[in-house]
Structure 1
């Protein structure tokens, strides 16, 4: 009851002597501090909006323009060409000579300043619409692109904040139906026989001449009206409307740095990483994070960062929704089947790492048992969405269940302290696979899969994360992860015995155990969801491969893109294991455009298939095969560039399909396009997005990247990371229930394909 008593600011009772009021000064001070903190954040956000709104200019430049105009006017030089005088004559109240002069100059200066700001902003926007630089080979920059880069740097401003470039980013271009269909047919031809391809081509022609024109008109209106014609529908229909489990099927994961293990004390590791993440969140709120700039010049959209913290996916019957709070002063923690609320803000400041370590250690030392059914509650977030939505409404909408659920859903993020240790043991493949599996799904009930991300802390101090996918894509979490695993070591550090640094000087709030009252029908729903998650976990065949034979350094010697090199190896490996080619998905970003997310690159091309067949054809000379390899990689790079610059295939087709559904029109061509399975789904995890991770100075800090579950029942999910000059990591997933797939078999095929292509490039003399 002490906690309940201290939660109210004052109490009163009426007696025969009058009203007796008891004031809790600590509670009132907490209320005051909370209000001050909230207003500071509001003022800070308003200030940032003004700065971003005037970028690439600055608010202070208004004063410079005003002083310059007034000085020239007082020196009897009229920079306004008579406009100041016109303002004096026609605006009431400016008739006085002195007052009118000053006010006229002020109004004119403000208008002039706004005009300059708009000119700079829209000139930069116009410049950023140019994408010719992407199509030029490395080291072969045209005079046109050099001039463009110079202009972007001139108009790009100085010291940008996170969202400074947002208003200057161009809208995503809407391709023509004809161009998209032509690219689609070219991409599908390698995996179809002539009869099927001819039938599909006829459907495509009919669609282009008929329904396609009608659907395109709706999309054209949306592209004019909306900031991005794809993103909102992509988020809603691909992610939030999905009714199947998001565990394995949607959520993705990231793993710890492989070669560095800074401490074996879980409470200390969690404390330092949590503190760094909170500092990152503070910088995010203040927009003090540096925006990602390609070639240190071209900005990427920063819109996805907004919902990184304080965000939860809320289940619904027909579709989910994202709940995002402006702030949260606690994290939710799960350990041995129990939930805790841990305050991260106390007396107007964030708790320091040593204070957080103390709070986390209290949870780890707590020997209380979970109440009946409590341990498996998180399985609700990993199972089917509809039962979870119904259970949330029926059993978690009032009383202590609602209060506890609110504490989880309104937390900054979720932390899970696992019971089972995982580690990277060199030479032990099972240890790598086990680590990846722990991050992807855990035991099926020790992650809150609805949170924007769960920080996973293992008993030996190793860490990883599991992230919900709808709010943002992997590069956003990779950005945070680089900060976390770098600053926890470089900036904060640990004592010699592995604890956080610093001395405890004040007492901090104790963790609050969350309470539950779970009736038998609720326990049954939890148990049903648990059975679903267990089946998913048991069916995942996951392998994390650390490839140390060579990395990016050798690929550069082959004079090709490392990504294209790897994609050709994946095509070769798949053909060798499956005996055929398949529709292949590779994710690329479209953040060169405002609110851009992803587009699909289709690596299985006519050129890649010709190369793969040549590798398996003993009658082909190595010289001929090398020529075909170069053509295949060049075609792949062209496809990647097209996807990044708004000339992709799949997002346009997806939006046309959505419009057809709104119009309740069934089209055989669109149905065919959208029903094709991605048997091989691939993605590259970005590395060293920031200057935090210096692999030249600290080569042992390579990160293992992350991965995702298989997309198709009979296919593979492959995520890879090019970690420095000498390492590659592959996360390969498939389903155990499929008799034709094996993650072990496929990773072995990848290794052989990489080695074979390396030998082809380095041991073959190019044809002159």
Structure 2
């Protein structure tokens, strides 16, 4: 992490280059007439507002470590008013943990907490090993934001606060929230042992089972849209100083731990349940606090899930979770006899009638959203990455072609889509999301939907399209961030209340907010992730040597096709393209 300062700053692309790339990206997605209109709007922008905004961006870039990351966090996350259920990623460990007793479960979670605290210390003290790609150091700045990070709801745009030296975590169980120390102030603020954490978790579980009075699931409010939650939070503070104190404990915690009841379903249903939290029994057992930098969820039947606040860290860094030591649930008699000197504290609330109405509203919305949330996953086992070692086809380009062809079969059209590209070789680097549809990709897709093309010609078109895609990703990783560039120019225009015709064009909106997002996760663990788009599909991939794990999320009320329908088409298309490659491809 100490090598961060030597990383170069991300350059600002030339305005003419970005506008050319914008028009190239939009050509396969527009008619000839629409594209001609876009050219006129773009030319007008380049001669008028574009020059002024480009100069403003150059100044802004001088004042910040990474202009693109700053704009991305503000525009995509902090100013996004949607519920965090729909704007945050969730990473699920699909392998269920093994324990046979209540004690074994608590021990396993205690060991996890102990490892998490140590990992937080390692990140905070900048002792995390420097990540490299080849000989190029990668920016490590995102990790530190997980340590005591919290996203505070505010009107119009949220803020981030950080408590990296926090001495406590938040534990959520049976709809109640507890402050749990992870350091002992009577012992020089030494971190608690596994045995002490076990005892504190036992206190949480016993306290919840003994508590008989009704409680208001205040955490439901955090699932509302950001403006509604901001208003409800202010109301809580006005209602009572007790509420203000409870909020302070949550917002300054190191991270969150949620313990859920059994998911009672197959893994696919479990992913949906842990995403939303337990909304059964009138949501009384809701165990989520959206906005925490990091939350770990354990279900009693052994599923482990990580929620990370997307404004803090990108989903591409989910390999971070693999650094947490493996959980061992072996037990000892000594453990159960140990007595801790520190105690947990249940956070309490004084709820006004107005806040009760907001909680009731949140319950209603959660139930609607739950029905609207469509998730499907499955293992494609016919081939994996190893197949491509013998063919001159770029693997990621091949997958992109398959997904676009599948989308075309479903909707009879192509759509703007993006593929995440790491920009961490630059200071404060995060991701770029280049629009990956090209004229070559369009030509190939159309060749696969007509009978006039030979397989030999289709193979030639496939190679051209995948090479074009590879070149795009290579140029992007080198700093040609044309999507972020246009986002930054619009961001500065909005800050100065400058109306720009180009930015109000419907096709520009399609460019900025694609209907198809594609992301890959690389891990030795069986991970899945979901990141729903309000107006389209999120396709996640976990490529393995001999298979591809595919997971898709969709908001059904905003999309005419389901996740299962898209999954079915993708699987079918992968097989078709594999056959084409093996029949016509040249073995090298």
Same fold at TM > 0.5: yes
Q: 1:292 aligns with which of 131, 134, 138?
A: 131
The answer for the alignment partner of 1:684 in structure 2 is: 520
Q: Aligned equivalents of 1:419 and 1:505: distance in 2?
A: 26
Residue range with higher mean Cα deviation, 194-203 or 465-474: 465-474
Q: 1:752 aligns with which of 562, 566, 572?
A: 572
The answer for the alignment partner of 2:496 in structure 1 is: 663
CA contact (8 A) 2:124 2:147 kept: no
TM-score normalised to the size of structure 1? 0.71
CA contact (8 A) 1:354 1:500 kept: no
Deviations, residues 82-105 of structure 1 (Å, cap 9, x unaligned)? xxxxxxxxxxxxxxxxxxxxxxxx
Alignment partner of 2:210: what SS? coil
Q: How far apart are residue 764 of structure 1 and its match?
A: 2.2
Q: How far apart are residue 505 of structure 1 and its match?
A: 4.8
The answer for the alignment partner of 2:538 in structure 1 is: 717
Q: Aligned equivalents of 2:490 and 2:340: distance in 1?
A: 59
Q: 1:731 aligns with which of 535, 547, 551?
A: 551
Q: 5+ unaligned residues in a row in structure 2: which ranges?
A: 280-285
The answer for the alignment partner of 2:178 in structure 1 is: 340
Q: Aligned equivalents of 1:483 and 1:228: distance in 2?
A: 27
CA contact (8 A) 1:416 1:454 kept: yes
Q: Is residue 2:527 matched to residue 1:704? A: yes
CA contact (8 A) 2:199 2:340 kept: no
Q: How far apart are residue 383 of structure 1 and its match?
A: 0.4
Q: Aligned equivalents of 2:112 and 2:488: distance in 1?
A: 40
Q: How far apart are residue 581 of structure 1 and its match?
A: 0.5
CA contact (8 A) 1:380 1:388 kept: yes
Q: Aligned equivalents of 1:503 and 1:538: distance in 2?
A: 42
Q: How far apart are residue 289 of structure 1 and its match?
A: 0.9
Alignment partner of 2:301: what SS? coil
Residue 422 and residue 468 in structure 1: after superposition, are their counterparts in 2 closer, same or farther (change >3 A)?
farther
The answer for the alignment partner of 1:567 in structure 2 is: 400
Q: How far apart are residue 422 of structure 1 and its match?
A: 5.5
Q: Aligned equivalents of 1:342 and 1:325: distance in 2?
A: 15
Kindly tell me the number of residue pairs found equivalent between the two proteins. Answer: 571
Q: Aligned equivalents of 2:151 and 2:118: distance in 1?
A: 24
The answer for the alignment partner of 2:321 in structure 1 is: 481
The answer for the alignment partner of 1:698 in structure 2 is: none
Q: How far apart are residue 361 of structure 1 and its match?
A: 3.1
Q: How far apart are residue 606 of structure 1 and its match?
A: 0.9
Q: Is residue 2:276 matched to residue 1:441? A: yes
Q: Aligned equivalents of 1:263 and 1:547: distance in 2?
A: 30
Q: Aligned equivalents of 1:337 and 1:290: distance in 2?
A: 38
Q: Aligned ranges for residues 220-619 of structure 1 at < 5 Å?
A: 220-247=58-85, 249-258=86-95, 261-263=97-99, 265-295=104-134, 297-346=135-184, 347=187, 348-366=189-207, 367-369=209-211, 372-374=214-216, 376-396=217-237, 398-421=240-263, 431-443=266-278, 445-476=286-317, 478-484=318-324, 487-489=325-327, 493-495=328-330, 505-619=338-452
Q: Aligned equivalents of 1:369 and 1:574: distance in 2?
A: 52
Alignment partner of 2:527: what SS? coil
Q: Aligned equivalents of 2:74 and 2:206: distance in 1?
A: 42
Q: Aligned equivalents of 1:438 and 1:483: distance in 2?
A: 26
Q: How far apart are residue 195 of structure 1 and its match?
A: 0.7
The answer for the alignment partner of 1:92 in structure 2 is: none
Q: How far apart are residue 187 of structure 1 and its match?
A: 0.7
CA contact (8 A) 2:516 2:538 kept: yes
Alignment partner of 2:127: what SS? coil
CA contact (8 A) 1:268 1:500 kept: no
The answer for the alignment partner of 1:762 in structure 2 is: 582
Residue 263 and residue 629 in structure 1: after superposition, are their counterparts in 2 closer, same or farther (change >3 A)?
farther
Q: Aligned ranges for residues 205-216 of structure 1 at < 5 Å?
A: 205-216=43-54
The answer for the alignment partner of 1:46 in structure 2 is: none
Q: Is residue 2:28 matched to residue 1:190? A: yes
The answer for the alignment partner of 1:675 in structure 2 is: 509
Q: Aligned equivalents of 2:374 and 2:400: distance in 1?
A: 21
Deviations, residues 542-566 of structure 1 (Å, cap 9, x unaligned)? 1122323322212333333332222
Deviations, residues 504-551 of structure 1 (Å, cap 9, x unaligned)? 655342322222221222111121222223222221111122323322
Cα RMSD of the aligned pairs, angstroms, is 2.3
Residue 534 and residue 256 in structure 1: after superposition, are their counterparts in 2 closer, same or farther (change >3 A)?
same
CA contact (8 A) 1:311 1:412 kept: yes
Q: How far apart are residue 359 of structure 1 and its match?
A: 2.2
Deviations, residues 187-239 of structure 1 (Å, cap 9, x unaligned)? 11111111101111111111112221111111112222322222223222321
Q: Aligned ranges for residues 79-94 of structure 1 at < 5 Å?
A: none
Q: Aligned equivalents of 2:474 and 2:99: distance in 1?
A: 42
Q: Aligned equivalents of 1:682 and 1:577: distance in 2?
A: 17
Alignment partner of 2:329: what SS? coil
Residue 479 and residue 372 in structure 1: after superposition, are their counterparts in 2 closer, same or farther (change >3 A)?
same
CA contact (8 A) 1:627 1:767 kept: no
Q: How far apart are residue 172 of structure 1 and its match?
A: 0.6
Q: How far apart are residue 765 of structure 1 and its match?
A: 4.2
Q: How far apart are residue 622 of structure 1 and its match?
A: 1.7
Q: Aligned equivalents of 1:225 and 1:403: distance in 2?
A: 36
Residue 299 and residue 716 in structure 1: after superposition, are their counterparts in 2 closer, same or farther (change >3 A)?
same
Q: Aligned equivalents of 1:553 and 1:767: distance in 2?
A: 14
Q: 1:201 aligns with which of 15, 23, 39?
A: 39
Q: How far apart are residue 503 of structure 1 and its match?
A: 7.3
TM-score normalised to the size of structure 2? 0.92
Residue 221 and residue 500 in structure 1: after superposition, are their counterparts in 2 closer, same or farther (change >3 A)?
farther
Q: How far apart are residue 456 of structure 1 and its match?
A: 0.7
